Structure 1
Amino acid sequence: MAGYFYIMACESNTTIYKGSTDDIIRRAYEHKYHLIPGSFSDTYNTTKLVYYEYYEDITDARGREAQVSKWSRAKKNKLISKMNPGWEDLYWDLI
């Protein structure tokens, strides 16, 4: 099963959330519209999809999530900015 590693950000880009999923559109929608009450994204309003990577196997996406989670915030910001310099919401490009 294919999968995605992704990063969501709040409107001011001060808080980010990292995750992996087999359905990036559904998962970003859940974040965007606060469909999981009490979750990190609901609490910290991380509703913008600012980064994602596609993998042929969901296990690889989960591995990438674990790898990036260990990085400094500066390194994560650099990763996002390389793909998405303006930190735009990529969700709208996917749907």
Structure 2
Amino acid sequence: MRTYNFYTYILTNSTKKVLYTSVTNDLDRRLCEHYFGTDQKDSFTSKYKCYYLVWFERYQYISHAIERETEIKGWLRSKKIKLIDEENPYWRFLNKDIMEWPPRYVQEH
């Protein structure tokens, strides 16, 4: 049986003032898209330079990842901070733990 990977994740900016929650099936690719602003130039993450990973969870099923994303997005900021603090109390940027960081821009042909 094949195992799938889906992620619910929280990003912040360099000053750790902004929180952004989303879901993806490819965390490396998605972090690159946030970093380079290739998703949308006027997106929330581009506007606030929000591409530092501070929390994530892996799921086998996309429906579970989306349910968790929806749950977290409904929380107050204080509850999101508590979630991050439980796993990452120093709010260390986790990008380097899962990929080369900062990523090098690779232009696709």
The TM-score by the shorter chain falls in which range?
Answer: over 0.9
Q: In structure 2, which of residues 63, 77, 88 is the aligned counterpart of residue 73 of structure 1? A: 77
Matched, 1:8 2:14: no
Amino acid of the residue matched to residue 87 of structure 1?
W
Equivalence for 1:34: 37
Amino acid of the residue matched to residue 47 of structure 2?
T
Q: What is the distance in 2 between the residues matched to 1:6 and 1:79?
A: 11
Q: Secondary structure at the match of 1:8?
A: strand
Alpha-carbon shift at residue 44 of structure 1 (Å): 1.0
**Which ranges in structure 2 are unaligned for 5 or more consecutive residues?**
100-109
Alignment RMSD (CA, Å): 1.0
Contact 1:5 1:18 in 2 (8 A): yes
Alpha-carbon shift at residue 33 of structure 1 (Å): 2.3
- The structure, 1 or 2, with the larger RCO (C-alpha pairs under 8 Å, 6+ apart) is 1
Q: In structure 2, which of residues 26, 39, 53 is the aligned counterpart of residue 23 of structure 1? A: 26
**Which portions of structure 1, spanning 4 or more consecutive aligned residues, are displaced by more than 4 angstroms?**
none
Percent same amino acid at aligned positions?
35
Contact 1:33 1:47 in 2 (8 A): no
Q: Kindly tell me the number of residue pairs found equivalent between the two proteins.
A: 95
Q: Which has the larger radius of gyration?
A: 2
